Chains A and B, each alone.
Chain A
Amino acid sequence: MTSQKKKVLLAPLDPVHDIGLKMIKRGLDLAGHDTILLPPDYTPEEIVKAAIDNNVDVILISRTLGYRVAEILGSFIDLAEAAGLRERVKIGIGGMAIKPELAAELGFDAGFGPGTTVEEAVAFVEGRRYVKEDKGARKTKKDLTEKHDYAFKNKKIEKLLNAIADEIIEYAKGKTTPGIERAKIREKMFEASDEAELRQLRKEYAAFCDDLVKVYYEKGALKEKTRQLTSEELNALKSYLEKTKSKMKPSLLQHTETNPVVFIQYGTGCPFMDIAHIKTCEAWGADGVVHFDPSWGARTEGFYEGFITHEEDGSVITYENLKLIKDALMPSTLWQVRAHRGLNTPETVFLAGKVGADLTKINIAYGSLGGGTDPERLAVDAVAAIKYAARFKLPFDVVTNEELCGVPAHKAFAGMLIVAMLGLKLGARPILQPLFCYSPEVMISGQMEDNYVDFNAAKILALKSIVNAPIWCGAPIGFLTQTEDRVQSSLSTALHAALASSLEVDGISIASADEAYSGGPISAAARVDTLRATQSAFRFFGHTKILPTEKAEVWARKIVEGIEQTLESVVQNGSFVDSLYKGLLGSREEGAYPGRAGRGTVKNI
């Protein structure tokens, strides 16, 4: 005990409620003070008498009921005054019905409203200034890969993956694409020593672009609904950020050390609105943010330059836009720039690495079967992109969104594991990103008729039985279970977060409560809804496990068998790229269509 020992009377000036006082009594006892706890329903006269009889130093009164609160407390303080207690005894009041302003108005020494901690009350008794612990200040940037050595437990799958990944590397040798060439030119632009060299490089870059982007480099023209941000706006953003950063005291979502890191996804179209949403999410506890680019951007050869906003979903990737966002982030915030599905994959990873992103996203199977890019093109681009990821030490997740097209989990997982193995061979650190949702496959085949737990659990159990790799559930968790009702949407997200945590995954991506709403941009308030819900779920479950039924294990084994069979069929086919065209990793009947964007653009060097 650091302060002088005090004698404290704790009295519930309330018919029944005294839990708060009991908690404070325990805290005071532990701190070495003498405490006397009166039972509920004592009158003000009885409490004052007990204080005099016991010669106490401090009185702590509690009041939960709001009924007649000012009158009763006023009467108590008058009695204490009349009894001569006010000069020598400190009197504090707390409880659900108490507001600090009311306590001060009535003449109490302190008023403790809802949310008061035991430590705060102990500090009052000891006459110390209470300094609230800022848990958010302890936030540090997490590395999702650090606990994983990528050791394969399933040797059969490891052998098959080795063969396929080696074949992909061999396939990509001696090949190039407009995407790879642009990435090389972009790198030279950063190294350019003067404006003349830069002009020449821009000309070379434009030659590898679609007309939509070419006109920008020739005439400065941007596509419709897209504009450069003004210098007035950029200056205003700077001031806004300075002010906002100085006010940041982020909440912490995790309740236990096993709760996963929580990512949100942004891509409002405008980097300013993105930043406003990011700062809101950081404040409410988000650990990471994922940059969504526009769908037209993924299907267009080439990037614009400059600070660009546009009025459609997805925020335009330029170095300048990314830099704006990077500079807005808290040091602890993980930042992912996705590069997984389009014609700018190598340059996206290069820019992400150059600007200082923490993570990227690459998947050949999804990008070419569900993302619209030609399989050959994306395979060659992805090898180059993964090399950039390795060079910039950017872990990348391998998302399996082809499941949303209807591809069964085992085939999507086979594609994911192939790209993960490719990443390992090229010196990068892949992260497995299984869908953690209500996917079309299970809608058709019925594995989620009873619950949303078993099949999601089966996926994680299957992956964990194959390889010790990081798992980041996406994206977003609970997709297709959320409705436009924000309460249902937030609850569903939170339950999926709790399940993911119970399965001890490393990360999750959550949606806003607007996930199922398609009538306009999502709002900042809707982001707060699901962050608060997720925090509550983590608090509720703590270290408690959610117990799937026996079906989870059965389905996990079936998924592993399916992965083995799929990989065997790819090995037998002899070519990974050809396997994508043939539907071995997801067929047309299953909803996977080899993309056409960039077809015929792969060139032999």
Chain B
Amino acid sequence: MSKVLEKVMDAVDLETFLVCDSEEEAKKLAVQMMKELGFNDVSTVFVQHLGPGARVRVRGYIYKPGARYNWLFNKKD
């Protein structure tokens, strides 16, 4: 995990508009995008496809409850 991502309290949400043909395609693309960005624990929060594409919000969890949160340990760098 990058040092910057360690500072994320719990999750990174990525919101964008994907040019695609269906909601299913949007879901696949959104998850693939997050995986390519290096997120492992990925979940689609919101997807709505209309006309030219889909509004999506996809989430990459950095920490889930019960994990060891690195931001808690006050590392400076």
Contacts and interface: CB of A to CB of B under 8 A. Distances in A.
A225 B48 CA distance: 34
A273 B74 contact: no
B45 A517 contact: yes
A542 B10 CA distance: 34
Interface stretch (A168-176, A235-243, A570-578): A235-243
A310 B64 CA distance: 10
Given A276-B9, A514-B45, A521 B65 contact: yes
B43 A519 contact: yes
Contacts of A524: 9-10
Interface in A219-262: 225, 227, 233, 236-237, 239-240, 243
B66 A280 contact: no
B72 A268 contact: no
Interface in B35-77: 41, 43-46, 48, 55, 57, 59, 61, 63-69, 71-74
Given A233-B68, A268-B65, A521 B10 contact: yes
A525 interface: yes
A233 B67 CA distance: 11
B23 interface: no
A310 B61 CA distance: 17
A525 B11 CA distance: 8
Contacts of B68: 233
A273 B10 contact: yes
Contact of B64 (A243, A485, A520): A520
Contacts of B59: 519-520, 523
Contact of B72 (A237, A310, A485, A514): A237
A149 interface: no
A272 interface: yes
B61 A236 contact: no
Given A240-B74, A272-B72, A486-B57, A227 B66 contact: yes
A484 interface: yes
Nearest to B74: A239
A309 interface: yes
Nearest to A516: B46
B6 interface: no
B9, B55, B67: residue with the most chain A Cβ atoms closer than 10 Å: B9
A311 interface: yes
Interface in A169-194: none
Nearest to B48: A485
A484 B45 CA distance: 6
Residue in B61, B68, B69 with the greatest tally of chain A CB atoms within 10 Å? B69
Interface string A466-492: 000000000000000001111000000
A519 B74 contact: no
A269 interface: yes
B61 A520 contact: yes
A523 B13 CA distance: 9
B40 to A, nearest CB: 13
Given A521-B10, A523-B10, A273 B65 contact: yes
A519 B65 contact: no
Nearest to A269: B65
Contacts of B41: 520
A290 to B, nearest CB: 17
Given A240-B74, A520-B64, A523-B13, A273 B45 contact: no
Contact of A519 (B9, B44, B55, B63): B44
A230 to B, nearest CB: 9
B72 A233 contact: yes
A236 B73 contact: yes
B46 A484 contact: yes
A424 B64 CA distance: 42
Interface centre among A237, A280, A523, A524 (most CB of B within 10 A): A523
Nearest to B66: A311
A485 B47 CA distance: 8
B43, B45, B69, B74 pick with most chain A CB within 10 angstroms: B45
Nearest to A237: B72
Contacts of A485: 46, 48, 55, 57
14 contacts: A269-B65, A269-B66, A270-B65, A272-B69, A273-B63, A276-B10, A280-B9, A484-B46, A485-B55, A517-B46, A519-B59, A520-B41, A523-B9, A524-B10
Given A237-B72, A524-B9, 12 more contacts: A272-B72, A310-B65, A310-B66, A311-B64, A485-B55, A486-B45, A517-B45, A519-B59, A520-B11, A521-B11, A521-B65, A523-B10
In the complex, the 7 A-B pairs of residues with the closest C-beta atoms, listed nearest first: A270-B65, A311-B66, A269-B65, A519-B43, A268-B65, A484-B46, A523-B11
